Amino acid sequence: MIELEGLTKRYGGKLAVDNLTFTVRPGVVTGFLGPNGAGKSTTMRMMLGLDRPTAGDVRIDGRHYDRLTDPLKYIGALLDAKAVHGGRSAHNHLLCLAQSNGIPARRVHEVLDAVGLTAVARKKAKGFSYGMGQRLGIAAALLGDPQILMFDEPVNGLDPEGIHWIRHLMKSLAAQGRTVFVSSHLMSEMALTADHLVVIGQGRLLADTSMAGFIAQNSRSYVRIRTPQRERLLDVLHEAGITAVESGSGVLEIDGGKPERIGELAAQHHIVLHELSPQQASLEEAFMQLTAESVEYHAHTDTPARPWGADWQKGD
Ligand SMILES: Nc1ncnc2c1ncn2[C@@H]1O[C@H](COP(=O)(O)OP(=O)(O)OP(=O)(O)O)[C@@H](O)[C@H]1O
């Protein structure tokens, strides 16, 4: 478990993290979201004792990071995949980490195998592709078999197979009862991986909720209907006190409507339906709705800005 209490970080005049209080619990994958510059990396760095808070506190299983003996046995983190001594082989890099943290050398082989780097274990890390560097960073995080894992943008630079692999890795680590805390800009990926979400904007907590709750609270849910008997259906719905709006191309939309009730009404009145589908906004839409006010770095373009889509991720 990771507990934050009033965590605050100021860089000169810039309040990067503003009084954050939340708990990251074991057994689920918790996604950490926020627009660029929201303070995610700064928060993660303070969790790991790499940055000193201006105020407030972070506890890892009840203790401060700098009070943990052999910290890699408590918390493993992937923050910056490039932070590897490039002149060392993957094997030697992990061996050095193991030796300085009281971890048996056999774990090096186990984690190299777990991340699929056994074949290149003796190669120098500086020759690694970005994706291989990510895998090596993940191997280092897993080295001490910790109960808490933290990943900052873990799918960056990974190919589809790698993304699939890390999604399953995170879910299985959580299913083993571990605490898994992961930041990502890739909303579609987060929607598939995280059970719980913590969202920040301009350093402040915007949401701390389940994935389903987050989408329900921050987006519109409605029922979409297509029928060749539009006027007839509108009359029947009106009589039943249900308001439908027309959204073009003959499509009707009912906010918060129950498809069962609408289907039954249509059947009772022998109205043909070509479509009756519940609609829920995606995580990306819900996220953009919630954070619209706290996006600091807007794109200036004539086309609508979609800073959280998969296309944006490519240029990250
Ligand atoms: N060492 C530093 N000195 C001064 N300002 C900093 C420092 N590190 C971060 N900041 C500022 O603090 C704010 C939060 O930055 P941070 O990197 O934590 O955000 P982030 O949510 O991780 O962003 P991104 O999604 O772009 O990675 C930003 O305005 C950033 O410019």
Residues in a beta bridge with 208: 198
Nearest CA to ligand 1 atom 5: 11
The pLDDT of residue 299 is 55
- Which pTM was predicted? 0.80
Take atom 6 of ligand 1 and give the residue whose Cα is closest.
11
Closest residue by Cα to atom 25, ligand 1, is 36
Task: Give the pLDDT score at 316.
Answer: 34
3-42: burial string, b at 16+ Cβ within 10 Å, e else: bbeebbbeeeeebbbbebebebbbebbbbbbbbebbbbbb
Predicted local confidence at residue 291, as pLDDT: 79
CB-ligand 1 contact for 36 (6 Å cutoff): yes
What mean pLDDT is predicted for residues 207-220?
84
pLDDT at 150: 95
Question: Which protein residue has the closest C-alpha to ligand 1 atom 18?
Answer: 39
Average pLDDT over residues 155-178: 90
**Nearest ligand 1 atom to alpha carbon 39:** 18
Q: What tens digit of pLDDT does each residue of 255-308 get?
A: 877 899 999 999 999 999 999 999 877 788 888 877 777 666 555 544 444 333
1, 34, 63, 91, 272 from 96: Cα distances, Å: 27, 34, 25, 9, 70
Whole-number average pLDDT of the chain = 87
- Choosing from 9, 18, 32, 42 the residue with most ligand 1 atoms within 8 A of its CB, the one to mutate for a pocket test is 42
33 lines ligand 1 (CB under 6 A): no
315 vs 276, higher pLDDT: 276
Looking at ligand 1, which residue's alpha carbon is closest to its atom 28?
Answer: 37
pLDDT digits (tens, 9 = 90+) for 91-110: 999 999 999 888 999 999 99
In the chain, the domains with their CATH numbers are 2-216 (3.40.50.300), 221-280 (3.30.70.1510)
Q: Are 51 and 45 in contact (CB under 8 A)?
A: yes
Q: What is the pLDDT of residue 309?
A: 34
Q: Give me the percent of the chain exceeding a pLDDT of 70.
A: 91
Q: How far is ligand 1, taken at its centre, from the CA of residue 14, in Å?
A: 9
29 lines ligand 1 (CB under 6 A): no
User: Which of 7, 8, 11 best tests ligand 1's pocket when mutated (most atoms within 8 Å of CB)?
Assistant: 11
pLDDT at 313: 35
| Residues 17-73: tens digit of each pLDDT | 999 999 999 999 999 999 889 999 999 999 999 999 999 999 999 998 888 888 888
Closest residue to atom 27 of ligand 1, CA basis: 36
ipTM of model: 0.96
